[in-house]
Chains A and B, each alone.
Chain A
Amino acid sequence: MKTISAAFFIVVYLVSTAFGNDALLSTFDRETLQKIRRAMEGIETLSGDFIEEKRLVMLKEPVVLKGRFYYIRPDRLRWEHLTPEIQGIAVSNGHGSKWLQDASKATPFELDSAPAIRRFVDQVLSWIRGDFDGTTDKYRIAVSSKGPVSVVLTPISEAEKAFLDRILITFSSDLRHVQSVDIHEKDGDASRIRFTRVQINRVLEPGLFP
């Protein structure tokens, strides 16, 4: 099963970041990250499903969310939950739309005016583009497992450390996509996103994006 997710982009971002901090990486880590980058080359579109399990301090019980995502290089992204409730966002070239329950009744917005969404989208898009210069000082990266390959990201900036404990990204065997992402936050929140039915370079309809 091919799996990939936003966490995949996190990894790419961090790998690139790590290239900027070679001195912090072991030879093995550096070689592994280079392998991942080579495996990602030539990706123009991505799409697939995901299952997200959230254990949040705010909620008594864990929540399971199911959804799907679409991406077209360089900056078009659609991320939507299908259960327990339909909710989604889609962005393209600075314009965005978001919806609740009915995607046909989406509300348009400008990415510049929506800081929270911008933060989410910027991260994802910057990973895809390999545009990591501005965040190289945020995380320490280490390869934590050889098979399947896993990378652990530990925040080093104070801003990130304030709420994030660590992120663990696990890759598929061919290193072309992410299999799962585990996010552990400082307040005890934890999320695990598993990606399924990921398709690479499938033709995506432009209508999916604003």
Chain B
Amino acid sequence: MTQDIRLLSGLFAFFSRHRWVLFACTLLVVAGAAFVSGQIELSENIASLLPDDRSEAAESFALLNRMPFSRKIVIQLTAGPGTETARLLAAGRELARNLQPPYFSRVITGPETGIGLDFFTWTLNALPNLITETDLSRIDAHLTPQGIHARLKTVKQRLLAPTGIMEEALLRSDPFDLAPFGFEKFTSMNPFQGVRIVQNQFLSQDEKKAIVLADTPIEGTDFKEGKRLIEHLEHLFTSHVPGDITVDFISVHRYTVANAEVMKADVWRVIGISTALILLLFLIFLPHWRAGFVLLIPITSLVVASGAVSLFFSEVSAVTLGFGAVILGISVDFGLHVYFALSSGYQDPGHSLDRLFRPILFSALTTIFAFGVLLFSKLPGQRQLAVFAIMGLFYALGVSLVVLPHLIKPLAHKSGRSNQWLQAPAPVWGKGIIGVWLCALILGIFGIRYLQFNGDLGALNRVSGDVLKAEEEIQKTWGDFRSKAMILCKGSTLETVLTQNDRVFSLMEQEGYIKNPVSLAPVLPSKVRQEINRKRWQDYWKNGNGARRLVFLKTEAATLGFSPEAFKPFYDRLDREVEPITAETLSAKGFSPMLELLLNRDENGFSATTLVPDTPKVMAGFSRIRKILPETRLVSQGRFREIISGAIKGDFKSFLISASVGVFLIAGFFFRRAKRLLLASIPVVTGTVVMAGSMTGLGLTFNLSNIIASILVIGLSIDYGIFMVYRLDRGFRHQTEEAVLVSGLTTISGFAALAVARHPALSSIGLTVVLGIGAAIPSALWVIPVLYRIIIKEKHHAPA
């Protein structure tokens, strides 16, 4: 048995003579920390919860942020009953005109130029560049003698229609109705399903809805600025959109703000409930005003930790402070042990403190070490949280051992109050308890095998019905354009990128598993591809089937009363040299908004984007494309979820193993005996196994916030084990069980309040800790004593 270290008794004796110095120093530290905390630049940006390293997860997240719609605000205007289309269009234009900097950088309501005769003519001119071999086969099949005859009859009919004079130029230019083969190419640039373009504006099929896309420089993860943006947007809706038109919008800011609002409301609720529960516990177990000093420890440790963390980080995340405040609730445990030991009055305070020093120090070290593993997290928020928790726990440890003893007096009546049910169970009951414990462990282990890891950050979102409804409405009208996956082709030159892009598109066509990908390839093939297309086109009309179709056209047209000059513009066009299409040509035709979505240039070169449905089938298909074109990348929310799931799984394992190994080493150093170490680890094993197993039982998945919960369960549970085994070794009175019980109950109270929070991230962490600690406490109080008797086989020491 190791001897007590007589450090604290000496300190206690010294400060007993200089109490005011001690109190003044403590107040100075707290006041200094409060002052530094006041200078903190608080960030309400949740980016701190996302990886910031060079891992695949971090890179994928960065690429996800570059997805065409990730930073756009999508605004939908819906015409009320009786509202004319023209009024809806005007409202869209008026709103777009008022979406100005600094909140908005660019606004798109539709293509920049009209689709009239000019576009029709340009499309016909561009056909030789665009028509692929497959298209040409379709055109050939379309140009049967019967097809040509029917088409010529339609031409005549349209020519003689009331508006025939308006269409004559088009009819003369395109007797074979080839323009639709060109028009369909342009639909490949359209990310919206069933969109109509009226007066250069995007409208839904029924022309009852218009869409406006706005770029904003405000980060989607920035709560504060995001909130201002939303308020500004709502003001614009009120002031610039008529009452008969309803407006809705979706953007990542809306999710961020909705989450943060719920979280803020939750924090107050959680603080209220947990404070009430903890006060109730104090009234039951610590019914003396001096116990209030114990409560001051977590409060002041929050201030000190905030001040300390600001020394390490230039910007402190509000999320860190929020989570940190909850976590530092556990720092009350050290004070509770000191309070119970000193208020019992069995020994003089110095002696009691010496006996408490080792278990409290080691239990603090295990918890601190458990949080220490988070310092190696890929998430900056978790690293910040680790520093926060470590600093807070160090402070709480020091104050509990050095300052608190001077604020506590022995309570004379304490001796008879120990609860009988806290005492070690009788042997007959002990077997039953071991049986129940083993059953719980077996069930837990069974459940762990089926525990699902969830990397969906969306699962941690708590979004109001309004936002979900808006998302649903917009998706119903315009399709699921916001959650499409992105295939990226990158290269140093535009031609390289377009060549890759062509190949990706061709492979997708060949595979046939992706319908209607959104791609530039059909309208902006590489120059080489365009030249191949042009040669094939010319050969078709000069030497191939096309030449025979032209002969038939002439004879059939004459039969139907057309003059020899009727289709001269068409013949002239076939003989004309065709210029290749360039990005500039497309921009000039009003397609800049689509080009900006699908073609990017940065310091590293160019990148072309193809948008595809984010489905497992597409993912599987892309893996085959990747084998042929290894330089392409797929970025998708589905893939991101997989990566994050993998990262969580990896983090869970590595953090769990690191934390477990660390705390066992520390505990091992404390006990220096394997049997005692095994006994002390019972609450940790029980807590983590039951926590993880129960999650499966309750249908919960393991997410990012559960990693923090696991660390907490490990760090706290080992403390209970250390105290219980130490108490059994040293024969303390039942104040140890009482301290373990009350500290466990305060932890459970805090996290039970968290478990009823509306925000999934908070409730998830709360529920997990409650499950873990809820299992760890009974195992510490009842299983350890029973097994101690069986394994150590030493007689209990009589109370000192």
A residues apposed to B, CB below 8 Å: 54, 56-61, 63, 65, 67, 79-81, 84-85, 87-89, 93-94, 100, 110, 112-113, 115-117, 119-120, 163, 183, 185, 189, 191
* In the A-B complex, the 6 residue pairs with the closest CB atoms: A58-B566, A116-B166, A112-B198, A120-B163, A60-B563, A79-B162
Q: B157, B161, B167, B561 — which one has the most chain A CB atoms within 10 A of its CB?
A: B161
Query: Is B172 in the interface zone, CB < 8 Å from A?
Result: yes
Query: Is B379 in the interface zone, CB < 8 Å from A?
Result: no
Residue in contact with B207 in the complex, picked from A56, A88, A110, A120, CB distance below 8 Å: A110
Residue in contact with A112 in the complex, picked from B162, B163, B199, CB distance below 8 Å: B199
Q: A58-B172, A112-B85 are in contact. Are A120 and B563 (CB under 8 A)?
A: no
A87 touching B561, Cβ below 8 Å: no
Give chain B's interface residue range (CB within 8 Å of chain A): 20 to 34
B85 touching A110, Cβ below 8 Å: yes
Query: Is B122 in the interface zone, CB < 8 Å from A?
Result: no
Supply 10 A–B pairs (Cβ within 8 Å), ascending by A.
Answer: A57-B563, A57-B565, A58-B566, A61-B561, A65-B160, A84-B160, A89-B162, A112-B198, A116-B167, A185-B165
In whole angstroms, what is the CA distance A94 to B172 when docked?
29
Query: Is B168 in the interface zone, CB < 8 Å from A?
Result: yes
B164 to chain A, nearest CB (A): 8
In whole angstroms, what is the CA distance A119 to B157 when docked?
19
Instruction: Please indicate the chain B residues that have their CB under 8 angstroms from the CB of A119 in the complex.
Output: 163, 166
B84 touching A94, Cβ below 8 Å: yes
Total CB contacts across the A-B interface at under 8 A: 78
Q: A58-B168, A94-B85, A113-B196 are in contact. Are A63 and B563 (CB under 8 A)?
A: no
B residues apposed to A, CB below 8 Å: 84-86, 89, 114, 116, 156-157, 159-163, 165-169, 171-172, 196, 198-199, 207, 558, 561-563, 565-566
A59 touching B566, Cβ below 8 Å: yes
Instruction: Please indicate the chain B residues that have their CB under 8 angstroms from the CB of A61 in the complex.
Output: 561
Instruction: Please indicate the chain A residues that have their CB under 8 angstroms from the CB of B84 in the complex.
Output: 93-94
Residue in contact with B160 in the complex, picked from A63, A94, A183, CB distance below 8 Å: A63
B162 touching A191, Cβ below 8 Å: no
Instruction: Please indicate the chain A residues that have their CB under 8 angstroms from the CB of B89 in the complex.
Output: 112
Instruction: Please indicate the chain B residues that have their CB under 8 angstroms from the CB of A65 in the complex.
Output: 160
B86 touching A94, Cβ below 8 Å: yes
Q: A61-B561, A87-B161, A112-B198 are in contact. List 20 more A-B contacts (CB 8 A).
A: A56-B159, A59-B566, A67-B162, A79-B162, A81-B160, A81-B162, A84-B160, A85-B157, A85-B160, A93-B84, A94-B84, A94-B85, A110-B207, A112-B85, A112-B86, A115-B114, A117-B163, A117-B166, A120-B166, A191-B165
In whole angstroms, what is the CA distance A89 to B167 when docked?
15
Instruction: Please indicate the chain B residues that have their CB under 8 angstroms from the CB of A67 in the complex.
Output: 162
B167 to chain A, nearest CB (A): 6
Instruction: Please indicate the chain B residues that have their CB under 8 angstroms from the CB of A163 in the complex.
Output: 169
A101 to chain B, nearest CB (A): 10
Instruction: Please indicate the chain B residues that have their CB under 8 angstroms from the CB of A63 in the complex.
Output: 160
In whole angstroms, what is the CA distance A80 to B198 when docked?
26
A89 touching B163, Cβ below 8 Å: yes
Instruction: Please indicate the chain A residues that have their CB under 8 angstroms from the CB of B156 in the complex.
Output: 59
A58 touching B562, Cβ below 8 Å: yes
Instruction: Please indicate the chain B residues that have their CB under 8 angstroms from the CB of A185 in the complex.
Output: 165
A87 touching B207, Cβ below 8 Å: no
Instruction: Please indicate the chain A residues that have their CB under 8 angstroms from the CB of B86 in the complex.
Output: 94, 112
B459 to chain A, nearest CB (A): 42
A206 to chain B, nearest CB (A): 17
Instruction: Please indicate the chain A residues that have their CB under 8 angstroms from the CB of B157 in the complex.
Output: 85, 87, 100
